[in-house]
Structure 1
Amino acid sequence: MKSKMNVLFAAGLLSLGMASAFAAELTAGEVRKVDTEQGKVTLKHEAIKNLDMPPMTMVFRAEKPELLKDLKPGDKVRFAAQSVSGAIVVTEIQQAK
């Protein structure tokens, strides 16, 4: 029983560590173009720290196309992006306040 508890405890710690590894800090940006049919958004953005990427304007694929439904060019946003299978993907995006 003690061994089973240790395994569960270790699995819990591992999942917490992995969750924090996937959590991305939000980055400020401005929407330049939205292509909802293709699930893509062009953003002029600040440095993306978790990707070690300098500020630039680039096209991102949205993890879920519905993330883009309320966006329009000129919107100020905060977003999270991650590298998924070699592509940079927006995993979260929200209007900046």
Structure 2
Amino acid sequence: MMKPMWIVPVAAALCFFGAPFAFAQTLNKQQVLPIPAQYTNGEVLEVNRKAGTIVMRHEFIVNLGMDPMAMEFEVDDRTLLNRLKRGDKVRFKAVYRDGKYVLIDALPRK
């Protein structure tokens, strides 16, 4: 029995286009292809020196694929806890490390 003529092009297209899609489906949130941390606009809502955390309202964070929201970040450099205060408008970098969201840098926004 002869196969219909359309099967070969469809099979080729599935192999070509389906492979990247199948690969992307195997990645989970912690295995996303690495994108370097980029500066994101945010506003400091709370600084907790004792816990070593900062609550930040932020715009979309590209390298984390995170929508705008307010959330708590641990700090990489504890000097940030003394430099920042509630109400500061900043540009900051954050990463996901060891199961936690970590603020690695913050600069005053002009």
What TM-score do you get using the length of structure 2 for normalisation? 0.66
5 Å-filtered alignment, 1:48-67, equals 48-67=61-80
**In the alignment, what sits opposite 1:30?**
43
Match of 1:12 in 2: none
Which residue in the other structure is 2:55 paired with? Answer: 42
Q: In the comparison of the two structures, how many residue pairs are matched?
A: 77
Q: Given the superposition, is the C-alpha separation of residues 91 and 22 from structure 1 closer, same or farther in structure 2, using an over 3 Å criterion?
A: farther
CA offset at residue 22 of structure 1? 6.5
Relative contact order, CA 8 A, sep 6+: which one is greater? 1
Residues 45-67 of structure 1: CA deviation (Å, up to 9, x unaligned):
00101000000000100012112
- C-alpha deviation, 1:68, in angstroms: 2.0
Runs of 4+ residues over 3 Å off in structure 1: none
- Partner of residue 84, structure 2: 71
Q: Identity rate of aligned residues, in percent?
A: 40
Q: How far apart are the structure 2 equivalents of 1:80 and 1:33?
A: 17
* Cα offsets for 1:31-55 (capped at 9, x unmatched): 0000122110000000101000000
Structure 2 residues not aligned, in runs of 5+ = 1-33
Kindly indicate whether the alpha-carbon contact (under 8 Å) linking 2:55 and 2:72 is maintained by their aligned counterparts in 1: yes
What is aligned with 1:94?
107
Show CA shifts across 1:44-96 (max 9, x none). 00010100000000010001211221211111001000010111100111111
Larger Rg: 2
Q: How many angstroms apart in 1 are the aligned matches of 2:103 and 2:35?
A: 13
Q: CA RMSD in A?
A: 1.2
CA contact (8 A) 2:36 2:63 kept: no
